[in-house]
Amino acid sequence: MAEEEELKHEHHEQDLPLVLLLGLDPSSLQKFFPKLFSKFRFVSPYELPDKSMDQFLINHAQSIKVLICEGGGEAVSINSEVLNCLPSLECIVSVSAGVDHIDLTESKRRGIVVTNAGTVFSEDVADYAIVLLLDVWRKISASDRYLRSGLWPIQGEYSLGHKVGGKRVGIIGLGSIGSEVAKRLQAFGCSIAYNSRKKKESVSFPYFSNATDLATNSDVLILCCALTDETYHIINKDVLSALGKEGVVINIGRGALIDEKELVRCLVQGEIGGAGLDVFENEPNVPKELFELDNVVMTPHSAVLTPESFSALHELTIANLEAFFSNKPLLSPVNYE
Amino acid sequence: MEPIGVLVLCGMCDYFEEELKKKFKVSKFSDNEEEFLKENANSIRAVIGNGVIGASSELIDQLPKLEIVASHSVGLDKIDLKKCKERGIRVTYTPDVLTDDVADLAIALILTTLRKICESDRYVRSGLWKKGDFKLSTKFTGKSVGIIGLGKIGTAIAKRAEAFNCPISYYSRSEKPNANYKYFSNVLDLAANCQILVVACSLNEETRHIVNREVIDALGPKGFIINIARGLHIDELELMSALVEGRLGGVGLDVYVNEPWIPEQLYGLDNVVLVPHVGSNTSETRMAMADLVIGNLEAHFLNKPLLTPVL
């Protein structure tokens, strides 16, 4: 009887749709997204660590129709080379908001649809942008360090920070995350202006058609846009110069939105006022010059690391996969524009 | 006219000191307090203190010519108000100009505590990110916030937390008819019904240790306490044992019982954010506070109505 049960179970497992995992450790995925493993079967290059990824794909992934990948600094790049090894691929499910690690043009050309995390992270990421800004302006981490080092009784009051109300906030990218950031900062008495690819007719905030003009008119720039060819190094020398000595940069998007070398130089020379950074060009490496600075707050790409975001992502990933396998519309397809 | 003697008990930013010295004869305690008082007591007609050090009963007794105490703070717990009233000494403070800063700090402490920002920054600075990803933290948006004291600062905190979709509830001595938030008539019920407890009331005999063991237990291991009011609002010993024993999710503190010294146990904890009484520490607000203190003193000595009197 037990044998029969086991056979049934194996049979059932065999019936589960097959999904490729790229750049994601299956055991770590199972830890955070256990339900996925009761609904789908997974193959992953992690199973055969001696083989190169391309080799694995050629030998074991020729009939794969859908893959899950992650985003961020250490993501596997889903480029032509990889796509060439996956002739049956129809859908890429990225468990990230950013899709800069995926060649969208190539995907579109091959008729492959891409989904991402949609808006499930937006609140947590917006909260993170706010806290990085508050930390830089009110010197929270710096004064916490000061206090923990025992200096309060010896050196007295810590240096003064900056008032939040009345400051001019410039948001680059007024999508889901940018809108949540704007809504929160208005309650602190900040004024909002933005730059994005196109002016949004339904939005009443002042629009600037380029980042330099926005920087000229802002006390802080908050980067909430996707990384694309156009937005690569959108924060460059000119923009930083326009932002000025008191200006602050907050980045919760992608490290490569900023010319990091130039940013570091400006911070070290005191040419801008401070920065709050959750992302870097070469994660997990962070320019060591920043460690000397008290007006910089650095976090390890952790804006989405909450149980709520993970849980929402879990549900969304399952929903997208189920929709794919039953030929229904995907829940969070990425627009190719 | 003889310059008016003003004794300053607290530190001053450069702007404050410069402006004050233009109009008054400013003195501070020397190392030998007794000698200082012998020489100067009779010429001191005003005292400036702050939220940490104020015109105590003893000091007032030692200054026979004292006419006005102009506090560089909104909290009055360090001033012997009863004695001032008895002796007809005027008292002023600095309300309103610092409301936004203190409310901003409350939210900053909530966010940095829940999202573990200081710990994350330490993680990066110590090179640990190269070894692995950071852990999960607690989402803020949508969490229930309970505010003790819905005065100007409490209201400003509520307004900001609302922008994060947080349901707001509060405790105060009496229900506020114009507040759109859920009222609890005691702090224990408030703590049992919120996840983030913010202390924003003034310190007096009733509110000393308003956050005690029972309140901490009601809040529970997933709860957070943020204190931007006074150290004595919380039973510090109970707070320390709760933190050390893991009975609280975390705390964000701007104030302590014995500033500038803090309990030893705090140094070893990662789930606490500790800042050194920076509630109104912005250049903009400090200038406004300085102007208000000086404005009050000038008004008094010119026999004009005080700008922001308490007594």
Tell me, what CATH number does B84's domain have?
3.40.50.720
Q: Mean pLDDT in chain B?
A: 96
Is B274 near chain A, with CB under 8 Å? yes
Which of A335, A303, A332, A312 minimizes the C-alpha distance to A94? A332
Residues in chain B: 311
Question: Chain A: residue nearest B258 by CA?
Answer: A153
Which candidate in A254, A260, A262, A314 is catalytic?
Answer: A254
Query: Which of chain A's residues have a Cβ under 8 Å away from the Cβ of B285?
Result: 163
Write down the pLDDT at residue A9.
60
Task: Say whether B108 and A131 touch across the interface (CB within 8 A).
Answer: yes
pLDDT at res. A1:
64
A254 is catalytic: yes
State whether B119 and B178 are in the same domain. yes
Q: What pLDDT score does B59 carry?
A: 96
How far apart (Å, rounded) are the C-alpha atoms in residues B287 and A236?
A: 34
What pLDDT score was predicted for residue B1?
59
Q: How long is chain A? A: 337
Inspect the interface and report whether the beta carbons of B105 and A138 lie closer than 8 Å.
yes
**Alpha-carbon dihedral of residues B90, B95, B98, B102, nearest 10 degrees?**
110
Set of chain A residues whose Cβ sits within 8 Å of the Cβ of B10:
none
Counts for chain A of helices (H) and strands (E), in that order: 14, 11
Whether residue B159 and residue A298 make contact (CB cut-off 8 A), yes or no, is no
Tokens 């846009």 belong to which residue? A225
Q: Which two tokens stand for residue B105?
A: 């700090």
Look at residue B310 and tell me if it is in a domain: no
Whether A1-116+306-326 and A121-298 share one fold: the answer is yes
Q: How many domains are contained in chain B?
A: 2
Q: Are B210 and B149 in contact (CB under 8 A)?
A: no
Q: Which residue is associated with the tokens 């606490």? A: B272
Q: Is residue B56 part of a domain?
A: yes
The closest alpha carbon to A286, from A261, A249, A303, belongs to A261
Report the gap between the CA of A304 and the closest CA in chain B (Å): 8
A152 vs B137, B276, B283: nearest CB: B276
B103 in the same domain as B89: no
State whether B68 and B106 are in the same domain.
no
Is A60 catalytic? The answer is no
Q: What residue spans define the domains of chain A?
A: 1-116+306-326, 121-298
A320 HSE (CA, 13 A, CB side): 26
Give yes or no: residues B72 and B219 share one domain.
Answer: no
* Chain A residues closer than 8 Å to B196 by CB: none
Q: Does residue B77 fall inside a structural domain?
A: yes
pLDDT at B195 over 90: yes
Whether B149 and B53 share a structural domain: no
pLDDT of residue A10: 59
CA–CA distance, A248 with B298 (Å, rounded to integer): 38
Q: What is the structure's pLDDT at B44?
A: 97
- Scanning B21-60 for CB atoms below 8 A from A yields none
C-alpha A255/C-alpha A263 separation (Å) is: 11
What sign for the dihedral angle of Cα B261, B267, B271, B275? positive
Mapped onto helix, strand or coil, the DSSP state of residue A241 is: helix
B260/B115 same-domain check: yes
**Which residues, other chains included, contact B106 with Cβ-Cβ below 8 Å and sequence gap of 6+?**
B153, B157, B160, B198, B200, B226, B228
Q: Compute chain A's Rg from CA coordinates.
A: 23
Amino acid sitting at position B27: S
Q: Are A184 and A126 in contact (CB under 8 A)?
A: yes
User: Are residue B32 and residue B67 in the same domain, yes or no?
Assistant: yes
Give A282→chain B minimum CA distance, Å. Answer: 11
Chain A contacts of B289, Cβ < 8 Å? none
Phi, psi angles (nearest 5°) of residue A9: -60, -45
Fold type of domain A1-116+306-326: Rossmann fold (3.40.50)
| Residue A184 backbone dihedrals phi, psi, to 5 degrees | -70, -45
**Residues of chain A contacting B284 with CB distance shorter than 8 Å:** 162-163
Backbone φ and ψ of B82, nearest 5°: -60, -45
Minimal Cβ distance to B260: which of A144, A152, A301: A152
Q: What pLDDT, on the 0 to 100 scale, is given for residue B2?
A: 77
CATH 3.55.10.10 given to domain A121-298 = no
Measured CA to CA, the distance from residue A193 to residue A156 in angstroms comes to: 38
pLDDT tens for each residue of B48-87: 999 999 999 999 999 999 999 999 999 999 999 999 999 9
- DSSP conformation class of A156: -
The catalytically annotated residue of A180, A260, A262, A301 is A301
Residue B72 designated active-site: no
Tokens describing residue A299: 């976090």
Clarify whether residues B27 and B109 are in a common domain: no
Instruction: Encode pLDDT of B197-246 as tens digits.
Output: 999 999 999 999 999 999 999 999 999 999 999 999 999 999 999 999 99
pLDDT of residue A13: 67
Tens place of pLDDT for every residue, chain A, 337 residues?
Answer: 666 666 656 556 678 999 999 988 899 889 889 999 999 999 999 888 888 999 999 999 999 999 999 988 788 999 999 999 999 999 999 999 999 999 999 999 999 999 999 999 999 999 999 999 999 999 999 999 999 999 999 999 999 999 999 999 999 999 999 999 999 999 999 999 999 999 999 999 999 999 999 999 999 999 999 999 999 999 999 999 999 999 999 999 999 999 999 999 999 999 999 999 999 999 999 999 999 999 999 999 999 999 999 999 999 999 999 999 999 999 999 986 5
Contact assignment for B136 to A123 by CB distance below 8 Å? no
pLDDT digits (tens, 9 = 90+) for B264-294: 999 999 999 999 999 999 999 999 999 999 9
Domain membership of residue B309 (yes or no) is: no
Full residue range of the structural domain in which residue B125 is found = 98-274
Please indicate whether, in this complex, the C-beta atoms of A147 and B276 are within 8 angstroms of each other.
yes
Q: Residue B144: which of B224, B81, B86, B245 has the closest Cα?
A: B224
Q: Is residue B311 part of a domain?
A: no
Given A135, A145, A189, which is nearest B100 (Cβ)? A189
